[in-house]
A and B are shown apart, each in its own frame.
Chain A
Amino acid sequence: MHLFLEQFVNGWALGSLYALFGIGFGLVFSTLGILNAAHGTYASWAAIVGYYAVVWLNVPFPVAIAVGVLAGGVLAIVVDQIGFQPLRAKKAGLLGALITSIAFWIILDSLAGFATQQQSLAFPASTYPNRMVAVGPVMVPQMQIITILALIICAVGIYLLIQKTRIGAAMRAVGWNEVAAGLGGVNARVVILLTAFLAGATSGLAGVLGGIATSNVSFTLGEGLLLKGFAAVVVGGFDDVRGTAIAGICLGIIEVFVGQYVSTAMRDGVTYALLLLFLILRPRGLFGSTSFLRA
């Protein structure tokens, strides 16, 4: 029972990372209609920038996270403006943006390799909260608590932003139809920039937290998050933050439990099989609406 609870918390924290990353990835897909292969590199770069902020400038832990998150957001805007904006004007659609995102993936991954001298780095243990805290019967690392809370705060915040505010209404309108939204008085350009920033920042947060918690700050960080975050988004449904959050947590817990109680070799197989099953049997995900509005 003790082990069960411990693994439950482990899975929850792991899934929270997938969900955080997935929220960003899903925002770009549902609002901007881009399947962004470069999204994982935002997480890698956020972690790298956060790491150097700590090592070179000795900034405290919360500032390091803020710097990393900002870096993720800014990078997302840069990629969007260089890689996706010219294609928007030419109406190249999903396909063109996919290719430019692959190009950015290659470029940013390679540069990340240079930035870390091809090593995998880790935040020094003294620079982040690394003790264990007793929560009821189980001991939980502080970073896991922070990760779990970060997801809850971000998911609730972004959900409220999208569903209850004027900005959110504008984002949904652009996701529906950019031209129609423009006719309705929405400044599509600003909405696109805002969405890109928000998406990059959320995934950047996943990158920094993941980089700290797993002692791995390198260009490989983003790829792992990309595959699992992608699964969380699909299972949860693209246009709903709640779905992504819950699906991410569930995938994390399932992954850990399959490893613990079934077979460690089949761990990823189960995740992806579940993903495929969902796509075929319930393509709109847990909460998603019935069809893609922006086809």
Chain B
Amino acid sequence: MTLLNMLAHCVRPAGLAAVIAGVAFSAAPSRAEGLAPGEYQIGFVTENTGPLAAAGVSYYHGAQLAIDEINQSAWIGKGDTLKMVEKESGSDAARAVQAVSQFIADRNVIATSCCILSPVAGAVRPVAVNAKIPLVIYGATRPGLPQLPYVTSVVGLPGPQEVKMTKTIIEKLHPKTVAYFVNADNEAFQGRFKAAQKVMEDAGVKTAGVISILGSDTDFTAPATQAMGTNPDLIMVWTTQTPAGGIIAALRNRGYKGPISANDVIAPPPMFKKIGEPLVGVPFPVLFSAELSDTPEAKAFIEAYQKRFSALPDAYAAQGYTMVYYVAQGLKSLDGKPTRESLAEAMAKITEIDHNVYGGLPMKDGQAEFAKSLIGAWSKEGKVVRWDPK
């Protein structure tokens, strides 16, 4: 039953896109200048299975939605359509490299996009650079991944959002000591934890304890007891999704009443459905939230996404969506028949992604820079609201 659902779910949109693409293509008039009409393919390395599949599906859906929107509104230009071709990697570096190599061999593919994990992105990067094909990283957060003009990233680096939230917490809650949970096996969360810890220590807030966990851990009762044993004024959770949920649930179940802060992994609605009550009032920094983001583009995106997938988009979906518009903007700026290299040059020149859901998204040296971040929290009713400490 569920298997069939998945199948239907995935096959239908692809078919739809193809139909739309076909219609638009046949109706294309010839033009004197601007981008040559045609169908341009983006090779998308999906992570719809494997350890990060929950997030992977969101990136994929966001990208699908952007493709359809661009084609329906003729956003690039009349007669120009985008098509997405997918290959699955299951978050495995070797499979991702093979997928990108196959995209490179397919002459219809003009740009590629991949990777949630930094080691996977690191392995794919030289392949794209050697083949001179644009590669947009949609999920990996290791600093220094972009390599102009070919490799660019639409992912917010660890730092600014964490700093902003930590400063706000210090202002509002005045903690004296903090205990941190952090993934020992994930460099992105190590970076985020260190950014937050630096702000805390600079403000004179002491570190009560740092508790390392692994992404594959499942039992958090003991780590929770350990954190509570340090008697902190605040507990910060810088871990991946499943551990974050488990840690917060374990802390509350064991009777911890003090404040907890987390990160955007607890923002997706299924997390609230799963963990429920313990998540209420836990602040997290987020670049995009279906309930908080209120620019016209964001609202349109949220509405369309809900209609298409009958679920609210999360921050990952927004990133997949942004990736496609970034490539489209590169294509839009070109004249005549584009090549992979000319597209890469055009994308490298972009200093601001025009169509975004963040209320402004500058690109610097091929890296997206998120100026504005939000601090959200779950309400008792299961809605993300602006965090409001009591």
Q: Do chains A and B touch in the complex (CB under 8 A)?
A: yes
A264 touches B223 (CB 8 A): yes
Q: Would B184 and A220 count as touching, CB distance under 8 A?
A: no
Chain A residues contacting B220 (CB-CB under 8 Å) are 214
Contacts of A141 in B (CB 8 A): 221, 253-254
**B219: chain A residues within 8 A (beta carbon):** 14, 17, 210, 213-214
Interface string of A1-37 (1 = CB under 8 A from B): 0010011001101100100000000000000000000
- Write the nearest CB–CB distance from B306 to chain A, whole angstroms: 17
9 contacts between A and B (CB under 8 A): A118-B53, A125-B277, A214-B221, A215-B245, A215-B249, A220-B51, A255-B222, A260-B222, A260-B226
Q: Would B242 and A11 count as touching, CB distance under 8 A? A: no
B210-249 residues at the A interface, CB under 8 angstroms: 210-214, 216-223, 225-226, 229, 241-242, 245-246, 249
- Residues of B195-215 whose CB lies within 8 A of A: 210-214
Q: Tell me how many residue pairs across A and B have CB atoms closer than 8 Å.
A: 112
| Interface-lining segment among B92-100, B113-121, B268-276, B339-347 | B268-276
Chain A nearest Cβ from B216, distance in angstroms: 6
- If the complex has contacts A113-B53, A214-B246, are A124 and B225 also in contact, measured as CB distance less than 8 A? no
Q: Contacts A125-B276, A125-B277, A264-B211: A259 and B222 contacting too (C-beta < 8 A)?
A: yes
Does the CB pair A120–B242 fall under 8 Å? yes
User: Of the candidates B218, B222, B253, which one forms a contact with A130 in the assembled complex, judged by CB atoms under 8 Å apart?
Assistant: B253
Whether, in the assembled complex, A265 has its beta carbon less than 8 Å from a beta carbon of chain B, the answer is yes
Mask, A105-132, CB within 8 Å of B = 1, is 0000011011101111110110000101
Q: Given the complex, which residues of B lie within 8 Å of A132, measured CB to CB? A: 253-255
Q: Is A139 an interface residue (CB 8 A)?
A: yes
Question: Shortest CB–CB separation between residue A238 and chain B, in angstroms?
Answer: 24
- Size of the A side of the interface (Cβ < 8 Å), in residues, is 45
Distance A8 CA – B221 CA, assembled complex (angstroms): 11
Q: Which of B48, B212, B214 contacts A118 (CB 8 A)?
A: B48
Residue A221 contacts which of B2, B211, B218, B241 (CB distance < 8 angstroms)? Answer: B218
Please state if A118 and B54 are interface contacts (CB–CB under 8 Å).
Answer: yes
Chain B interface, DSSP helix/strand/loop, else mixed: helix
- CB-defined contacts of B295 to chain A, threshold 8 Å: none
B56 within 8 A of A: yes
Q: B interface, how many residues as a size bin? A: 35 or more
> Are the CB atoms of B242 and A265 closer together than 8 Å?
no
Closest chain B CB from A168 CB (angstroms): 32
| Contact indicator B254/A119 (Cβ below 8 Å) | no
Within 8 A of A (CB), among B46-76: 48-49, 51, 53-54, 56-57
Q: Is B11 an interface residue (CB 8 A)?
A: no
Chain B proximity of A294: nearest CB distance (Å): 32
Q: Known A114-B2, A120-B245; judge A10-B49 contact (CB<8 A).
A: no
Report the separation of the CA atoms of residues A255 and B226 in the bound assembly, to the nearest whole angstrom. Answer: 13
CB distance from A6 to the nearest CB of B (A): 5
Given contacts A10-B222, A114-B6, A215-B245, is CB(A3)–CB(B212) below 8 Å? no
> 16 more A-B contacts (CB under 8 A) besides A118-B57, A120-B54, A213-B219?
A10-B221, A10-B225, A115-B2, A119-B274, A120-B241, A124-B276, A125-B276, A144-B221, A210-B218, A214-B218, A214-B219, A216-B245, A255-B222, A259-B211, A260-B222, A268-B214
When distances are taken between beta carbons in the complex, the residues of chain A under 8 Å from B223 are 259, 264
Asked whether B27 is an interface residue with its Cβ less than 8 Å from the other chain, the reply is no
Which residues does chain B contribute within 8 Å of A125, judged by CB atoms? 276-277
Interface assignment of A218: CB less than 8 Å from any CB of chain B:
yes
What's the Cα separation between A17 and B217 when bound, in Å?
A: 13
Residues in A180-233 with C-beta less than 8 Å from chain B: 210, 213-216, 218, 220-221, 223-225
A256 CB-CB contact with B under 8 Å: yes
Question: A7, B249: Cβ atoms under 8 Å?
Answer: no
B32 touches A (CB below 8 Å): no
Q: Looking across the interface, which residue of chain A has its beta carbon closest to that of B229?
A: A3
Residue among B6, B56, B222, B242 making CB contact with A220, cutoff 8 Å: B242
How far, in whole Å, are A130 and B3 apart by their CA atoms in the complex?
32
Residues of B within 8 A of A144 (CB): 221
> Given the complex of chains A and B, what is the CA–CA distance between A216 and B57 in angstroms?
19
CA A110 – CA B49 in complex, angstroms? Answer: 8
Q: Are the CB atoms of B2 and A121 closer together than 8 Å?
A: no
Residues of B within 8 A of A255 (CB): 222
Q: A14-B222, A122-B275 are in contact. Are A113 and B49 (CB under 8 A)?
A: yes
A260 — nearest CB in chain B belongs to which residue?
B226
Structural contact, B221 and A259, CB atoms closer than 8 A: no
Tell me how far the C-beta of A47 lies from the nearest C-beta in chain B, rounded to whole angstroms.
Answer: 11
> In the assembled complex, how far is the CB of residue B238 from the closest CB belonging to chain A, in whole angstroms?
14
Given contacts A118-B56, A268-B214, contact A215 B275 (CB under 8 A): yes
Contact of B3 with A114 in the complex, beta carbons under 8 Å: yes
Among B51, B184, B229, B255, the residue within 8 A (CB) of A264 is B184
- Give the docked Cα–Cα distance between A24 and B261 (Å): 39
A125 to chain B, nearest CB (A): 6
B221 to chain A, nearest CB (A): 5
Q: Complex formed: what's the CA distance from A39 to B18 in Å?
A: 42
A111 to B7, CA, bound (A): 13
Q: Are A216 and B222 in contact (CB under 8 A)?
A: no
Chain A residues near B184: list those with CB within 8 A. Answer: 264-265
Query: Which residues in B have their C-beta under 8 angstroms from that of A118?
Result: 48-49, 53-54, 56-57
